[in-house]
């Protein structure tokens, strides 16, 4: 990658030379190593690299620099090379600043000075960051463009789909000069938006998610009719099952209706996941897990909906929404849950036009300087509040209870209390929404007094619990009253096995009422709703798959 650069920035000349020397010694044969001694001069270097059409892989910046400190520089550098991996060089006294930079500039890592020996403290970090950068599609892919209206639900759906599937794109409004020029060049008008211009120059008017997937290089058609293991749902549990299944030699198919990562993939920052002391975004964790699954030859299908399961001898037939089907010896159900809809007058018609379910991170920059309302008191709502506080003038968290302590982790409560622009409103509910082409105001009800208030806002993000995605299973697999899949001992009633059960044994721990079909993660009745436990159940399901296959 001789056309890609590693940039180091430190105002101390001796330190600047030392870090550049160590980096050049290890990576100089593959990357251009550029050093600068101030934030402004480093920005000038970045702009020159950009104009030459070259890439920057990693940026290492010292925290304590005059004129522009390391965090300020990295924040500016993100506008020039948003996909470059970012490292902050700090002294022991500055670790608090480094941790805060994680939320400000989505920092990839921070290094304490001195970093000697580099073989132990510098190179392993840079090796991992360069590997991740090389695997980022945008490094080698031209730019996808999306032209649409700001308050169009269809435009939001397109952008959200691309973002959640980690497809880089540039958003252009149809009423802006460049957007108009692109529409004219494509022979289209505002009536055709959203319009997606693919990297090969093809214009797609009002594309479906399946159209998008096909044109950005995602697989949508299975390569085989028979698999050892089919995993339905590519959230943490599904990705965990796919990684362990494929790595252990099972021919594995992973089917995802919308985007890998599930709800966890939408999280702006997961800080209590084992092994990531500085936190990790849902997108980063999803990207690593997806690449790991593909590395072991998992076959990943996107925008394919499984609408039914049917027993076929000792195997299971998976029926897709388009009428096709594949067969698998074993199945792992990992379809997760979806956010429950907020039932209040006026909100349904404004979904995607100011009312959003989940973090909808693509909308965050548009919230700059405005007031944002978040409904919900669990971790997902707290993570979203912290994230949106980077952009919005004010973030309001609306909860039914008296405080956040019953439903949110303490580390998030502490973060929220430390951010002045976030305000928690206890005993407060949304009872209505109003607006013409987009959300313009919310009607809030004070649960203590019963009084209602209209507040002006264009942004509502809803996190009010979840419902399992299991209606499509019908009566084929036993579920509890809320729709969660029953497994293992929960299927036994007074020691009796479930109706229609044919094996001469009790169901395995994660096995459903259909032999050979397992459930993992949030979709399973009684599961712990955490990312780590979902990944663990995905791995455990594969061990039970092996036991099932050996006993047939």
One domain, residues 187 and 234: no
| Integer Rg of the chain from CA | 25
Q: How far is the CA of 455 from the CAs of 162, 182, 398, 416, 430, in angstroms?
A: 32, 38, 13, 22, 10
Residue 156 lies in a domain: yes
The encoded tokens of residue 100 equal 């805060």
Residue 221 lies in a domain: no
One domain, residues 240 and 280: yes
Q: Which of 418, 436, 464 is the last residue before a domain boundary?
A: 464
Domain holding 149: CATH number?
3.40.30
One domain, residues 334 and 477: yes
Residue 140 lies in a domain: no
Residue 264 lies in a domain: yes
The encoded tokens of residue 107 equal 């920092």
One domain, residues 277 and 382: no
pLDDT at residue 139 in the model: 45
Residue 457 lies in a domain: yes
What's the half-sphere exposure (Cβ side, CA atoms, 13 Å) at 508?
22
Domain holding 411: CATH number?
3.50.50.60
One domain, residues 388 and 476: no
Residue 177 lies in a domain: yes
Q: Which of 184, 216, 248 is the last residue before a domain boundary?
A: 216
Q: Which of 164, 188, 216 is the last residue before a domain boundary?
A: 216
pLDDT at residue 141 in the model: 43
Beta strand 466-468 with 460-462: parallel, antiparallel or unpaired?
unpaired
What's the half-sphere exposure (Cβ side, CA atoms, 13 Å) at 331?
28
One domain, residues 13 and 107: yes
With beta carbons less than 8 A apart as the criterion, state whether 263 and 466 touch.
yes
One domain, residues 77 and 100: yes
pLDDT at residue 54 in the model: 79
Neighbouring residues of 237: CB distance < 8 A, sequence distance ≥ 6: 332, 334, 336, 520, 521, 522, 523, 534, 535, 537, 538, 541
Per-residue pLDDT tens digits for 260-319: 888 777 777 788 888 877 777 787 788 889 999 999 999 999 999 999 999 998 899 999
One domain, residues 152 and 261: no
pLDDT at residue 358 in the model: 82
Neighbouring residues of 280: CB distance < 8 A, sequence distance ≥ 6: 269, 270, 273
pLDDT at residue 296 in the model: 96
One domain, residues 274 and 184: no
Flag whether the pTM goes above 0.75: no
Residue 496 lies in a domain: yes
With beta carbons less than 8 A apart as the criterion, state whether 351 and 461 touch.
no
State the sign of the Cα–Cα–Cα–Cα dihedral 419, 164, 274, 119.
Answer: negative
Ramachandran sector of residue 153 (left: φ over 0; alpha: ψ -120 to 50; beta: rest): alpha
Show the domain range for 265.
226-338+470-551
One domain, residues 115 and 175: no
Looking at the structure of the chain, the number of domains it has is 4
Low-confidence ranges of the chain (pLDDT < 50): 1, 139-141
One domain, residues 457 and 475: no
Cis? peptide before 114, omega within 30° of 0: yes
Using CA atoms, how far apart are residues 122 and 19, in angstroms rounded to an integer?
A: 9
One domain, residues 314 and 413: no
Residue 59 lies in a domain: yes
């Amino acid at each position: 990658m001789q056309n890609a650069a590693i940039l180091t920035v430190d105002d101390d000349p001796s330190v600047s030379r030392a870090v550049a020397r160590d980096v050049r010694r290890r990576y100089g044969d593959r990357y251009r190593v550029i050093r600068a001694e101030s934030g402004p001069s480093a920005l000038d270097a970045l702009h020159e690299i950009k104009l030459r059409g070259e890439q920057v892989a990693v940026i290492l910046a010292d925290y304590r620099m005059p004129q522009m400190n390391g965090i300020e520089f990295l924040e500016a550098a993100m506008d020039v090379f948003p996909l470059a991996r970012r490292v902050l060089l700090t002294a022991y006294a500055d670790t608090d600043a480094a941790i805060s930079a994680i939320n400000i500039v989505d920092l990839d890592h921070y290094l304490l000075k001195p970093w000697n020996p580099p073989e132990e403290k510098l190179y392993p970090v840079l090796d991992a960051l360069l590997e991740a950068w090389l695997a980022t599609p945008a490094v080698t892919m031209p730019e996808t463009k999306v032209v649409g209206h700001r308050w169009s639900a269809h435009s939001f759906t397109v952008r959200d789909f691309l973002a959640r599937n980690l497809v880089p794109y540039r958003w252009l409004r149809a009423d802006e000069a460049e957007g108009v020029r692109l529409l004219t060049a494509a022979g289209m008008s505002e009536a055709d938006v959203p319009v997606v211009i693919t990297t090969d120059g093809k214009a797609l008017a009002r594309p479906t998610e399946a159209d998008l997937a096909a044109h950005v290089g995602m697989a949508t058609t299975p390569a085989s009719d028979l698999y050892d293991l089919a995993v339905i749902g590519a959230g943490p549990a599904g990705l965990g099952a796919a990684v362990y299944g494929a790595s252990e030699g099972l021919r594995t198919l992973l089917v995802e209706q919308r985007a890998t990562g599930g709800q966890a993939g939408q999280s702006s920052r997961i800080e209590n996941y084992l092994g990531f002391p500085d936190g990790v975004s849902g997108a980063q964790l999803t990207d690593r897990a997806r690449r790991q699954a593909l590395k072991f030859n998992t076959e990943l299908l996107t925008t394919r909906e499984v609408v039914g399961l049917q027993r076929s001898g000792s195997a299971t037939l998976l029926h897709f929404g388009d009428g096709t089907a594949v067969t698998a010896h074993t199945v792992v159900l990992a379809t997760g849950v979806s956010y429950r809809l907020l039932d209040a007058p006026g909100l349904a018609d404004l979904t995607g036009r100011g009312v959003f379910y989940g973090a909808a991170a693509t909308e965050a920059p548009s919230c700059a300087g405005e007031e944002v309302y978040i409904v919900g008191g669990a971790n997902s709502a707290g993570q979203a509040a912290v994230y949106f506080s980077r952009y919005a003038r004010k973030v309001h968290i609306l909860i039914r209870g008296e405080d956040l302590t019953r439903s949110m982790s303490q580390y998030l409560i502490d973060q929220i209390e430390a951010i002045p622009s976030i305000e928690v409103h206890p005993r407060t509910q949304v009872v209505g929404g109003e607006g013409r082409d987009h959300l313009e105001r919310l009607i809030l009800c004070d649960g203590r007094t019963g009084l209602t208030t209209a507040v002006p806002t264009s942004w509502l993000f809803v996190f009010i619990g979840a419902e399992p995605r299991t209606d499509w299973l019908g009566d084929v697999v036993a579920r509890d009253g809320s729709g969660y899949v029953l497994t293992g001992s929960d299927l036994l009633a007074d020691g009796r096995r479930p109706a229609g059960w044919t094996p001469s044994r009790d169901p395995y721990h994660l096995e459903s009422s259909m032999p050979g079909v397992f459930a993992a993660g949030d979709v399973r009745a009684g599961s712990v709703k955490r990312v780590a436990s979902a990944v663990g159940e995905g791995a455990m399901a594969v061990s039970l798959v092996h036991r099932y296959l050996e006993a047939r």
